Structure 1
Amino acid sequence: MRITYGPWGETLAELVAAARAAEEAGAEALWLPELHRSATVSAAAVIAGTGRAQVGTAIALAFTRSPMTTALEALDLAEMSGGRFVLGLGTGVKRLNEDWHGVRWEPPAARLRETVAIIRHFAAHAGSGEPMTVEGELESLRVRGYRRPFPATRFPLYLAGMGPVMTKLAGEIADGWISHELCSPAWLRERALPLLRPGVDAVVSAACSIDVDPAEARRRAAGLTGFYASVRSYAGFFAFHDLAAEQEAVIEAFRSGAGAAGLAAAVPARMVDALTLAGTADQVAERIAGYAGHATTIKLTPPVHGLAPGEIRTAQARIIDLIKELP
């Protein structure tokens, strides 16, 4: 099982420094999200500041760029990295696409399938000078009179998924599957792996909080847990873990106007224990080992929701220290 890391930084310089420290500690890949920063710009910065680890987007939003733009960015990043780049895509939710980015929301699985087909076709044929045509019901490519005059560096393409439809799609067409930030070993074994074909890289995203005091570690992870528990569409996930009542309490806190700190206060210890890696260094290492034999890659990330930068830095440093000690 590969140990990988999702670095954090209050500045891009700090982000790159954290990525470099994780690489030096032994992380085999570095993953950049898209929310407060552009995933592709962050990936470019980390590629420039590292030299060995893979660098991937986990995830870049699939529908807020055209498929051709996504393919161009991926080709550039693959070239810049000397083949270390991984394009990880996800759909986001309807509100994020329509209200935040002003793009249409259509059946996401069907649209993502067509988006992937266009990205791959463009990446494979952009240097030929021949017409490129991919006809889909939701996404199409019709390019003539174009030739990208640079050598193409190949890149793997991963898809994120939580529910069965997106996970199954990743299992069918992607090189890898990236889990939701909350993904227990039981969910991985029972709900995800049966939908992935052999050879797909199963990347488990694991929120990680380490402290000599397990209660303090749980406190840091509670805000992140509450953030995701406030999303009602994740009800099936929480019910699977016998946490339906606990999720409802978080949703009620969210409706009352609670911010990240308030949501954290509504999250009980058993919810944090079930869904994150929170505890002492030894406890977290043991929890990581629980994914062995099932996940092929684990992506460790520090908690950020409701925490001041100093606390995030502490959480990050402890994860990187743990990576040094993991087999």
Structure 2
Amino acid sequence: MDAAVVSQLSHVPAAARTLEQRGYDGCWTAEINHDPFLPLTLAAEHTERMELGTSIAVAFARNPMSVAQIGWDLQDYSEGRLLLGLGSQIKPHIEKRFSMPWGRPVARMREFVQALHEIWACWRDGTRLNFEGEFYTHTLMTPMFVPQQHAYADPKVFVAAVGDRMTEMCGEVADGLLAHAFSTQRYVREVTIPTLERGIARAGRTRADVVVSSPLFVVTGHDEQELAANAVATRKQIAFYASTPAYRGVLELHGWGDLQTELHRLSRAGEWDTMGVLIDDTMLAEFAVVAPVDELVHTIRARCDGLIDRVLVGFPPSIDEATVVGLVSELQAEETS
């Protein structure tokens, strides 16, 4: 069971220590308004056992060599606890925010992951670096630029995927799939897992070779009033994702495709509060775990069993510390029973 750690550097040490004290297995950063790697350095320094992951770092804003180097160093500094989560982002962000090239993202991501492993093999085993791909070429590595050896295996590489082709590619070359929070149980069961397994089979691997990790929207409370209040922000977040054309397929599986068109129109007009109202109770229950505190653990388990290997759970701010610790402990106990 995992959680997100804040990315503002001054807040990371205390936040990471708190997550470890609560009993979480891992903490993840996201590349939103802060760098995703710097916080993990602090988290590694102030924790002892939690795995530390990026969910996600934008691959195409970087290149395989720069990511391989920071992955190597963080794996060393964290004593083998790094989970390197990569995502493609979308064309407007890559071209207009990062000023980097875009094109054929699935093929580009496959090559990115393959290049990482070639670079790490060069540093670890002393083999000649000779990676020549369609998008990336790495053929120069002189002794001065080889980092010091360390005792840890290569970081596990996770790739974020929603579409079929990227999901299949994860099954072929990645150590893990980072599923999107905007996924229903039905979508994961009927679309994500079968698609992932096609890639796994094509590469001659097994389902055990690929870890499926997913965040969950959680709406909970001690009573109906608190539950309803905590649902407001989640409805808005679901509506935001639902307005994105790339995620329309999730809605269409449930017969809600037309809602994406309306939400997209409202998002362009800045009608964020109105968008949230359009997420009714039925939709909320499909996209989020909705349960009172005393039923939450059972509901999370029912949502994930047989589909999700590791889950990222955040609790509403109104839930007190003692309750959070108890919930995490109960979930961990069920995982190991």
Task: State the TM-score, normalizing by the size of structure 2.
Answer: 0.86
Q: Following the alignment from structure 1 to structure 2, what is the Cα–Cα distance between the partners of residues 170 and 221? A: 28
Tell me which of 241, 252, 265 is aligned to 2:265: 252
Which residue identity lines up with residue 299 of structure 1 in the other structure? L
Q: Is the Cα–Cα contact under 8 Å of residues 23 and 328 in structure 2 kept in the other structure?
A: yes
Give the aligned partner of residue 268 of structure 1.
280
CA gap of 1:289–1:74, structure 2 versus 1, over 3 A, is: same
Is residue 59–residue 86 contact of structure 2 (8 Å, CA) maintained in 1? Answer: yes
Confirm whether residue 323 of structure 1 aligns to residue 328 of structure 2.
yes
Distance in 1 (alpha carbons) for counterparts of 2:163 and 2:295: 28
User: Could you say if the C-alpha distance between residues 43 and 315 of structure 1 is closer, same or farther in structure 2, counting changes exceeding 3 Å?
Assistant: farther
In structure 2, give the amino acid aligned to 1:100. R
Maintained 8 Å contact 2:114/2:173: no
Q: Which residue of 2 aligns with 1:208?
A: 218
Counterpart in the other structure of 2:189 = 189
2:290 corresponds in structure 1 to 278
Are the counterparts in 1 of residues 9 and 38 from structure 2 also a CA contact under 8 Å?
Answer: no
What's the CA shift for 1:215?
Answer: 1.7
CA–CA distance in structure 2, aligned partners of residues 116 and 56 of structure 1: 16
- Cα distance per residue 1:34-78 (max 9 Å; x no partner): 111111112222212211111111111111111100000101110
2:21 partner amino acid: E
> Number of residues paired by the alignment?
314
CA change 1:130–1:201 in 2 (3 A) is: closer
Equivalent in 240, 245, 253 of residue 240 of structure 1: 253
* Distance in 2 of aligned mates of 1:284 and 1:33: 25
Show the counterpart of 1:306.
none
What secondary structure does 1:63 align onto?
A: helix
Report the 3-state secondary structure (helix = DSSP H, G, I; strand = E; otherwise coil) of the residue aligned with 1:126.
helix
The share of aligned pairs that are identical, in percent, is 25
Task: Give unpaired runs (5+ residues) of structure 1.
Answer: 303-311
- Where do residues 34-45 of structure 1 align in structure 2 (5 Å cutoff)? 34-45=31-42
Classify the secondary structure of the residue corresponding to 1:143.
coil
Q: Indicate conservation of the 8 Å contact 1:208/1:319, yes or no.
A: no
Equivalent position amino acid for 1:120 in 2: H
By relative contact order (CA 8 Å, sep 6+), the higher-ranking structure is 1
Q: Contact 2:60 / 2:100 at 8 angstroms: preserved in 1?
A: yes
Name which of structure 1's ranges 90-99 and 187-196 shifts more when overlaid on structure 2: 187-196
User: 4+ runs of 1 displaced by more than 4 Å?
Assistant: 127-130, 315-321
Q: In 2, are the aligned partners of 1:127 and 1:150 still within 8 Å (CA)?
A: no
Which range moves more in the overlay, 248-257 or 90-99?
Answer: 248-257
CA contact (8 A) 1:5 1:29 kept: yes
TM-superposed deviation, 1:149: 4.1
- Is the 8 Å Cα contact of residues 183 and 250 (structure 2) preserved in structure 1? no
The structure 2 residue matched to 1:132, chosen from 129, 137, 145, is 129
- Gaps of at least 5 residues in structure 2 are 201-206
Alpha-carbon distance in 2 for matches of 1:223, 1:12:
27
Question: Does the 8 A contact of 1:177 with 1:201 survive in 2?
Answer: yes
Match of 2:26 in 1: 29
Matched, 1:49 2:62: no
Deviation at 1:321, TM superposition (A): 5.0
CA 1:134–1:246 in 2, change beyond 3 Å: closer, same or farther?
same
**Counterpart of 1:173?**
173
SS of the equivalent of 2:158 reads strand
Q: Which TM-score applies when normalising by structure 1?
A: 0.88
- Taking the aligned partners of 1:208 and 1:50, their CA distance within structure 2 comes to 26
Report the alpha carbon displacement of residue 130 of structure 1 after superposing the two structures with TM. Answer: 5.4
State the match for 2:73 in structure 1: 76
Show CA shifts across 1:85-120 (max 9, x none): 110111011111111111110100000111111111
